[in-house]
Amino acid sequence: MFVKPMRVCFPWVVCYDFFMDKFLIHIHGGESFLKQEEYEAYLSQLAVDIPDKQQVNSKRWKDLYEEKFPEFMVIKPKMPCADNAKYKYWELILKKYIALISGELFLVGHSLGGIFLLEFLSKNVLPKDVVLKQLHIVSSPLQAGDFKVPENLENVGSQAEQVFIYHSKDDQIVAFSDGLLISKKMPHSKFLEFENRGHFIGEGNEDFPELFENIKGN
């Protein structure tokens, strides 16, 4: 499948040259609240600090995509209002990217990004020239504010050729049971259980070999 070269620029992201037929889109996490007062309470309790140079320069596993998969066009959108996210705005942005691509698609959603992708794929059908090869859900809850994993995920399973769900038993942000329940909603998915990876952020999570191997194995 050939994709005609095309440069597209958005004001909130860098320019992308779409000329490949393999695309990897990573959707980051965030916070979501149903009520304004909940958001304000979150901000009032939010701890802040000044990161040192080592923290600023530290690599995260999502920074390794380009190195691991040079044959992919890697897209990491900065989703709007990540600290008070709303599903409809995130849906709007992802639809813009989907409309620009043609070929094989690999989706990765971390935390809130995972719920978003499950909800998005439940409510939307991808264009016929986009083949969803793999969907990766990492440490995602069943519900967070404006985002909720639908009861029926048949539309997700019918579009994704492979679904992988990753969750660690020591995750202090999202309960391990949420990952298990999501996997049960999709019997054809593969659930990867970990003991000491937390929320797949911070020290010790600079790499994600299991995720990368699954993508390479496609």
pLDDT at 178: 97
pLDDT at 146: 92
- State pLDDT tens for residues 110-151: 999 999 999 999 999 999 999 999 999 999 999 999 999 999
pLDDT at 3: 46
Distance CA 114, CA 119 (A): 9
Helix (H) or strand (E) holding 206: none
Going residue by residue through the chain, which has 218 residues, state the pLDDT in tens, using 9 for 90 and above.
Answer: 334 444 445 444 445 555 568 999 999 999 999 999 998 999 999 888 876 655 545 679 999 999 999 999 999 999 999 999 999 999 999 999 999 999 999 999 999 999 999 999 999 999 999 999 999 999 999 999 999 999 999 999 999 999 999 999 999 999 999 999 999 999 999 999 999 999 999 888 999 999 999 999 87
Give me the domains of the chain, ranges plus CATH numbers.
Answer: 7-216 (3.40.50.1820)
pLDDT at 12: 46
pLDDT at 157: 93
Strand 16-17 relative to strand 7-8, pairing: antiparallel
Beta-carbon neighbour count of residue 68 at 10 Å? Answer: 18
Which of 70-102 are b and which e, b meaning 16 or more Cβ less than 10 Å from the residue's Cβ?
A: eebbbbbbebeeeebbbbeebeebbeebbeebb
pLDDT at 55: 52
Beta-carbon neighbour count of residue 214 at 10 Å? Answer: 18
DSSP state of 71: T
Confirm if 145 and 115 have CB atoms less than 8 A apart.
Answer: no
Give helix 112-123 / helix 87-98 axis angle, nearest 10°.
70
pTM of the model: 0.88
Confirm if 104 and 133 have CB atoms less than 8 A apart.
Answer: yes
Distance CA 6, CA 34 (A): 39
